[in-house]
Amino acid sequence: MSSLETIAFDADDTLWHTENHFQATQVRLSEILDAYAPHDEVQTRLHGVEERNVKLFGYGVKGFTLSMIEAAIEISDQRISAADIHEIAMMGKAMLDRPMELLPDVEAVLADLGRSHRLIMITKGDVMDQQNKISQSGLAHYFEAIEIVALKDTATYDALFARFGLQPGQTLMVGNSIPSDVTPILELGGYGVHVPYHVTASFERHQAEPNHSRYRRIERIGSLPDLVANL
């Protein structure tokens, strides 16, 4: 680890709050559909629609909103009212318009680590939505590069590292998702740090943590500078 040069950060639920807004919106969707199905069934069927649509819409609020509308129509057997459809659309719009809320200690951590390491941001989702969040966050100036990608898998990281001239063995990736932020970098020979968020998106859930010498878990991002120093 003495040759660690680059620290890459996920954005949503690593630097700022995101998934809690999705969860709250899904709760309201279940309430709207109370007359048609139990809450658990609504969530299960919504996830099925999202999985079906992700290749078309990608990840983000806009695709999520379209999937909620489609799920509501299916679950209600097309009986849902125009007023309820309008409320669902407005719920999505409200998510896009929600004020930015950074997680604790984020800016101090970036300022600290930026003095000794090259920092980059790698986030996935709708480009316009992510760009708006990055702009609102006020964090862009800490990063040498910011990449918004459609999917975070081994091939995506490999291509990014080649483009930036990064050596995986000299790179550490920090994020709240094991499948998206940790597993791919470990497969490439880099280092992964998991910082769990208090709720996990259905697409990012994992069965077990990696049993790997280059894997670490911390409970809050404020612990990252000490972890990097002690490694």
Burial of 174 (0-12, 13-18, 19+ CB in 10 A): buried
d(CA 211, CA 209): 6
| Better-scored residue on pLDDT, 56 or 157 | 157
What's the confidence (pLDDT) of residue 204? 56
The span from the CA of 199 to the CA of 196, in Å, is 8
Evaluate whether 183 touches 204 at the Cβ level (below 8 Å): no
Q: Using one digit for the tens of pLDDT, what is the confidence trace for 108-139? A: 999 999 999 999 999 998 898 899 999 999 99
Q: Which two tokens stand for residue 196?
A: 């769990």
Domain ranges within the chain, ordered by starting residue: 6-16+100-230, 19-96
We find that the CATH architecture of domain 19-96 is Orthogonal Bundle (1.10)
Among candidates 99, 144, 138, which has minimal Cα distance to 119? 144
Rounded percentage of the chain residues whose pLDDT exceeds 90: 78
pLDDT of residue 206: 61
Sequence-distant (≥ 6) Cβ neighbours of residue 66 within 8 angstroms: 53, 57
Q: Going by CATH, does the domain composed of 6-16+100-230 fall within 1.20.1250.20?
A: no
Higher pLDDT, 19 or 171: 171
Q: What is the pTM assigned to this prediction? A: 0.86
pLDDT at 62 > cutoff 60 = yes
Task: Report pLDDT for 144.
Answer: 96
Domain 19-96 in the same topology as domain 6-16+100-230: no
pLDDT at 1 over 50: no
pLDDT at position 15 over 90: yes
Higher pLDDT, 20 or 220: 220
Using alpha carbons only, how large is the chain's radius of gyration in Å? 19
